[in-house]
Structure 1
Amino acid sequence: MTNKVLAKDIIQMLEYWAPKELAYDWDNVGLQLGTLNKEVKKVMISLDVLENVADEAIANDIDLIIAHHPLLFKATKQINVDQPKGKTIAKLLKHDITVYAAHTNLDIAFGGVNDMLTKQLDITNTDVLVPSGEEAYLKLVVYVPTEKVDEVKQVLGDNGAGHLGNYSHCTFEQKGTGSFTPQGDATPYIGTIGKEEQVNEVKLETIIPSTAKDFFVRTLLDVHPYEEPAYDLIPLANEGKTIGVGRIGTIREERTLREFCEDVKEKLDVPALRSIGDLNKKIKKVAVLGGSGQGYIAQAKRLGADVYLTGDLTFHDAQEAWEMGLAVIDPGHHVEKVMIEGLIQFFEKQELSITFVAAKSSTEPFQFL
């Protein structure tokens, strides 16, 4: 990639990790404001986009904000610049700041928000808490001149192609001879206009997740030396990974609910939390769902969780959990701020020639007295 980075280049990387197709139908993920066809030199990662975040972005010459919670979530029927939302939108547009949101797709994605939370809490041996489907696989087949096959294979593998179970960079190669005749305005990598050319080629096969096929096709076309490479995308019978929201796993050492509450406060950086259940109850199996997960109390209980950690519990949902004997911890919705550092780490691995910064403005509305 050249030194000039467009917003769409950054978002392409993010959407490979957390494709928009993973998001729930009711969600509004993706571009919220502005354009992705702009050069970007500085990106801010934020949980929310409130007016104070917009002010911080303006003061720091930010070109792109990537947020977890969508700026535009409910239907917007008017933009009144005398109201907080309208004022925020006006400021962002005036200063040409693009806003993008990765919400439930980032919750569901492997390594996303829920996995970040389980990692912070040292929860291991995790499974999906609420399955929503299965990620299908495709076989990507492409014909590459022999001298370039190692480069193409490496780039595809380094970007996540060929990942199967506990193995990475899985490929199959078959040598052969390709033939073609460049025509008209072609600018061939090999050969002469109007003359048939024969080339030693390798038929390269690898496996990719179907949700990221567009990303891998673009990656292939960028690295492949041919002007018009031939490729196939073939559905595979391999059983895909179960995808869904939330995670359930075990902590390394059994603890009381009281002790685990203290761990949560320390590791998720919250000054206080709400809990349900006997504080002396022994905790080993933990279910986690960042944000508002009160609708899945029964699922956490059914899967054998000793405690369920989620936010935004209502009084009656709390009573339901209490009556069924499930301990619950509500540390607040704001613990999803783990995504800020998580995304910065992700993008820093991409070695882009731009700066990523964490939003410092608080978007936590609650005070603890």
Structure 2
Amino acid sequence: MVKTKDILKLLNIIAPFDIAEEWDNSGLQVGNLNWEVKKVMIGLDVSLSLMMAAQKSHCDLVLTHHPLMIRAKKSIDFNKMPGKAIEIAARHGISVISAHTNLDKANDGLNDYFATKIGIEKTKVFFMDSPSSVLLDEAIGIGRIGYLKVKTPFEKVVRQIKEMLDLPYLRVTGDMQLPVSSIAVCTGSGGSLLDEFLRSKADVYVTGDIKYHEARRVEEYSKGLIDVGHFGSEHMAIDLLFEKLGQAIQKAGLNIEIERFKKEKDPFIIV
């Protein structure tokens, strides 16, 4: 019998939980480590629609990239989120696990996956944020930086990334004729790495959630910026977790069904 704790162990091999950021809340969100798991549903956010879909599909475990909660709540109200998700999990025996910044930072994790998706080669870690012995591994850290096969005008890079990620729009800063050979990426919200990007040899920074004054700084340095949005850079975590966990389950010889929740949409729309 496969239990929640067994899935947690497999995920810890894929993306070790001890490399997650200190402020993060990766790992078991709600549930019981000893509950049996026969079916897993993978999504981006622990949303009410995901939990209801998991209940309807008779899933025993929900796996997401974003945690149920980052900060502790003083009270849990079952009439609104995240209380509604917790109630569904408790009533129907559904454990919830999140792999957040550990998946972002892991070797062959989300940032590597994202970089590959937009055609970046020979990548290395963009920023190593901890002196701990765990992070002495040069393949583990925040973001990635790498190269295009050939030097390409910024305008063409923008069009290619928009097409590769199948996005309806991008927010772009910089000279469209800028020759681009090196690109830095950070999935999710990458504003905290802006200084690192400006100091680096990267021509362009691809990330999400960039603010107005941060974009102005990129202009001042005559570099390029592509804001693909938070959702745009991380919804692919569903496919990555599906692939990685599926391979791990097969290797372990376990009989577990995995399903992807693909009904999530970017909360932002352009009108």
TM class by smaller structure: over 0.9
Specify the alignment match of 1:118 in structure 2. Answer: 115
Task: Give the Cα–Cα distance (whole angstroms) in 1 for the partners of residues 239 and 38 of structure 2.
Answer: 19
1:204-283 aligned within 5 A: 240-241=137-138, 243-283=140-180
CA contact (8 A) 1:128 1:245 kept: yes
Asked whether 1:329 is paired with 2:226, we answer yes
Task: Give the Cα–Cα distance (whole angstroms) in 1 for the partners of residues 131 and 82 of structure 2.
Answer: 37
1:17-36 aligned within 5 A: 17-36=14-33
Cα drift, residue 91 of structure 1 = 2.0
1:66-112 CA-to-partner distances (Å, cap 9, x unmatched) read: 11110011221111122232222222222211101111111110011
Alpha-carbon distance change, 84 to 134 in structure 1, aligned in 2, over 3 angstroms = closer
Task: Give the Cα–Cα distance (whole angstroms) in 2 for the partners of residues 129 and 43 of structure 1.
Answer: 32
Asked whether 1:360 is paired with 2:258, we answer no
1:10-159 aligned within 5 A: 10-133=7-130, 136=133
Q: Which of 183, 190, 195 is the matching residue for 1:286?
A: 183
CA contact (8 A) 1:312 1:332 kept: yes
Specify the alignment match of 1:312 in structure 2. Answer: 209
Task: Give the Cα–Cα distance (whole angstroms) in 1 for the partners of residues 173 and 14 of structure 2.
Answer: 35
Task: Give the Cα–Cα distance (whole angstroms) in 2 for the partners of residues 291 and 53 of structure 1.
Answer: 20
Cα drift, residue 243 of structure 1 = 2.8
Task: Give the Cα–Cα distance (whole angstroms) in 2 for the partners of residues 54 and 83 of structure 1.
Answer: 13
1:303-332 CA-to-partner distances (Å, cap 9, x unmatched) read: 211100010011111112222222110011
Consecutive unaligned residues of structure 2, counting only runs of 5 or more, are: none
CA contact (8 A) 1:45 1:65 kept: yes
Task: Give the Cα–Cα distance (whole angstroms) in 2 for the partners of residues 60 and 252 of structure 1.
Answer: 44
| Structure 1 or 2: more helix by fraction | 2
CA contact (8 A) 1:23 1:103 kept: yes
Q: Which of 237, 247, 250 is the matching residue for 1:349?
A: 247
The 3-state SS of whatever aligns with 1:132 is: coil
CA contact (8 A) 1:24 1:104 kept: yes
Cα drift, residue 257 of structure 1 = 1.5
Cα drift, residue 263 of structure 1 = 1.4
Consecutive unaligned residues of structure 1, counting only runs of 5 or more, are: 137-209, 212-238
Asked whether 1:338 is paired with 2:236, we answer yes
* Aligned residues between the structures: 266
The 3-state SS of whatever aligns with 2:128 is: strand
User: Partner amino acid for 1:79?
Assistant: I
Cα drift, residue 241 of structure 1 = 3.0
CA contact (8 A) 1:135 1:242 kept: no
Structure of greater Rg: 1
The 3-state SS of whatever aligns with 1:270 is: coil
The 3-state SS of whatever aligns with 1:84 is: coil
Task: Give the Cα–Cα distance (whole angstroms) in 1 for the partners of residues 131 and 9 of structure 2.
Answer: 22
User: Partner amino acid for 2:39?
Assistant: K
Task: Give the Cα–Cα distance (whole angstroms) in 1 for the partners of residues 81 and 129 of structure 2.
Answer: 35
Tell me the TM-score normalised to structure 2 length.
0.93
Task: Give the Cα–Cα distance (whole angstroms) in 2 for the partners of residues 267 and 95 of structure 1.
Answer: 39
| Structure 1 or 2: more strand by fraction | 1
Task: Give the Cα–Cα distance (whole angstroms) in 2 for the partners of residues 9 and 116 of structure 1.
Answer: 25
The 3-state SS of whatever aligns with 2:266 is: coil
CA contact (8 A) 1:292 1:311 kept: yes
User: Partner amino acid for 2:100?
Assistant: H
The 3-state SS of whatever aligns with 2:82 is: helix
